[in-house]
């Protein structure tokens, strides 16, 4: 496990403490002596989702740095664990942060299976959890909790949006393909729901275990089935390989490939020509021109010498949400009910557009239709406006 402390923050803290000491006679004991707020980052830094974990971490820290390196006026100490996107290791990894390091806030993760385990531990230990990616529907549905928030999306949202668009385009038959776990199943489930409600038919649901990338036999089957469209959920390194394999098999010339936007987000550099023209649905697009997105993209590019992706947006918004919560109590983490109340009613100025949370603490946001043009996921329309989750039995 790696513990990261920012020396600049320490110098700043010493300076503040020094200044406060000078005022001591007149002002009394200074609040600069408050202990640091401990943030536990549990994210993938190795494996097929490694780049996603890095984007989230970068942007989370960027938002905190833009806020003076503080939460509610208190300095921050980061504790970092690589969860390897491995659900089997999730309880041990989360307990390192919750029990051993006693973090005030847990932030993570990318993989739905890992996040489900984190959410259970967060509920059992009453630890504040902010999820900056993993979309497992149940976490903000039947398993919702006062102390669990998500700044990303729920898995079915992207499928719901693309199923609607494909039905509107009068596609009649579809084949779906995904990794077989909560994220893929729910993404495909959303697609099937709206595609079939709009008159289409999913003729075959294909899947392979996470994080396998041996796609050849599935491509052969798709070629034989000849559907009007193929809908997939893949992300990270697996998405890069899938899009390249689909094109190498020549299928991009005959059967349109569409997907949840993770298929082409943060991946275009590596996918190159193979991704050109692909349609995806996502709550973000590179070319959004709202002022917050312009400022965010410029700051991220300056700090990290690379363009941000959707994962960076979600990490940035996780920090923005915590800033709102902690400001409401001036950093007093014992005032949990007030923190939760402030976070529940937060209006986040997100690079994706303005963002509010549902009753289950999941984003209500526009889902964009995007088309790959060059190195950009260009927004060509809004597939669904203000999409919120259907009530799934969340009792809060």
Q: Does an H or E element contain 77, and which?
A: strand 74-82
Query: Contact at 8 Å (CB) between 61 and 126?
Result: no
| DSSP codes joined into one string, 116-138 | HHHHHHHHHHT-EEEESS---GG
Sequence-separated (6 or more) residues with CB below 8 Å from residue 110:
43, 44, 49, 52, 53, 56, 85, 133, 134, 311
Nearer CB in complex with ligand PHB: 111/370: 111
Phi, psi (rounded to 5 degrees) for 370: -125, 155
Phi, psi (rounded to 5 degrees) for 363: -55, 140
Sequence-separated (6 or more) residues with CB below 8 Å from residue 18:
none
Judged by CB under 6 A, the residue of 41, 64, 183, 275 near ligand PHB is 183
CB atoms within 10 A of CB 362: 27
Is 130 a binding residue for ligand PHB by CB under 6 A? The answer is no
Is 174 a binding residue for ligand PHB by CB under 6 A? The answer is no
Judged by CB under 6 A, the residue of 60, 262, 284, 368 near ligand PHB is 262
From residue 8 to residue 47, what is the string marking binding to ligand PHB with x (rule CB under 6 A)? ----------------------------------------
Stretch that binds ligand PHB, among 71-79, 108-116, 274-282, 369-377 (CB under 6 A): 108-116
- Token output for 24: 């001591």
Nearer CB in complex with ligand PHB: 230/239: 239
Judged by CB under 6 A, the residue of 112, 147, 358, 362 near ligand PHB is 112
Q: What is the DSSP letter of 97?
A: I
Is 235 a binding residue for ligand PHB by CB under 6 A? The answer is yes
Closest separation in Å from C-beta 262 to ligand PHB: 3
In the window 142-171, what residues touch ligand PHB (CB under 6 A)?
155
Is 175 a binding residue for ligand PHB by CB under 6 A? The answer is no
Judged by CB under 6 A, the residue of 44, 53, 108, 135 near ligand PHB is 135
Is 313 a binding residue for ligand PHB by CB under 6 A? The answer is no
Size of the residue set binding ligand PHB (CB under 6 A): 10
Stretch that binds ligand PHB, among 32-40, 109-117, 212-220, 371-379 (CB under 6 A): 109-117
- CA pair distance 191, 197, nearest whole angstrom: 10
* Helix (H/G/I), strand (E/B), else coil: 64: helix
Is 264 a binding residue for ligand PHB by CB under 6 A? The answer is no
Q: Which residues bind ligand PHB (CB under 6 A)?
A: 110-112, 133-135, 155, 183, 235, 262
């Amino acid at each position: 496990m790696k513990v990261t402390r920012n020396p600049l923050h320490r110098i700043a803290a010493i300076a503040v403490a020094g200044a406060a000491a000078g005022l001591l006679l007149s002002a009394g004991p200074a609040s600069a002596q408050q202990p640091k707020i401990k943030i536990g980052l549990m994210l993938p830094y190795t494996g097929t989702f490694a780049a996603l974990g890095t984007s989230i971490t970068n942007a989370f820290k960027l938002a905190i740095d833009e806020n003076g390196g503080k939460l509610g006026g208190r300095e921050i100490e980061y504790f970092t664990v690589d969860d390897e996107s491995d659900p089997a290791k999730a309880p041990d990894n989360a307990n390192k942060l919750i029990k051993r390091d006693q973090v005030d806030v847990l932030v993570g993760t990318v993989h739905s299976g890992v996040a489900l385990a984190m959410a259970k531990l967060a509920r059992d230990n009453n630890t504040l959890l902010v999820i900056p990616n993993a979309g497992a529907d149940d976490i903000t549905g039947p398993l919702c909790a006062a102390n669990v928030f998500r700044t990303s999306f729920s898995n079915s949202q992207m499928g719901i949006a693309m199923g609607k668009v494909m039905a509107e385009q009068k596609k009649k038959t579809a084949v779906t393909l995904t990794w077989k776990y909560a994220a893929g199943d729910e993404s495909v489930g959303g697609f099937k729901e709206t595609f079939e409600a709009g008159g289409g038919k999913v003729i075959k649901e294909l899947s392979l275990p996470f994080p396998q990338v041996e796609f050849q036999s599935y491509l052969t089957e798709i070629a034989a089935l000849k559907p009007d469209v193929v809908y997939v959920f893949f992300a990270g390194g697996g998405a890069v390989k899938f899009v390249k394999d689909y094109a190498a098999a020549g299928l991009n010339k005959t059967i349109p490939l569409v997907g949840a936007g993770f298929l082409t987000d943060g991946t275009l550099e590596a996918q190159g020509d193979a991704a050109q023209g692909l349609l995806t649905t996502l709550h973000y697009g590179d070319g959004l021109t709202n002022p917050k997105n312009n400022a965010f993209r410029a700051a991220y590019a300056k700090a990290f010498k690379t363009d941000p992706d959707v994962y960076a947006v979600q990490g940035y918004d996780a920090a923005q949400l915590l800033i709102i919560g902690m400001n409401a109590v001036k950093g007093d983490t014992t005032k949990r009910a007030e923190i939760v109340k402030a976070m529940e009613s937060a209006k986040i100025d997100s690079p994706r557009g303005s963002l509010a949370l549902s009753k289950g603490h999941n984003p209500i946001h526009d889902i964009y239709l995007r088309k790959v043009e060059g190195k950009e996921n260009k927004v060509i329309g809004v597939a669904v406006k203000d999409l919120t989750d259907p009530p799934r039995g969340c009792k809060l």
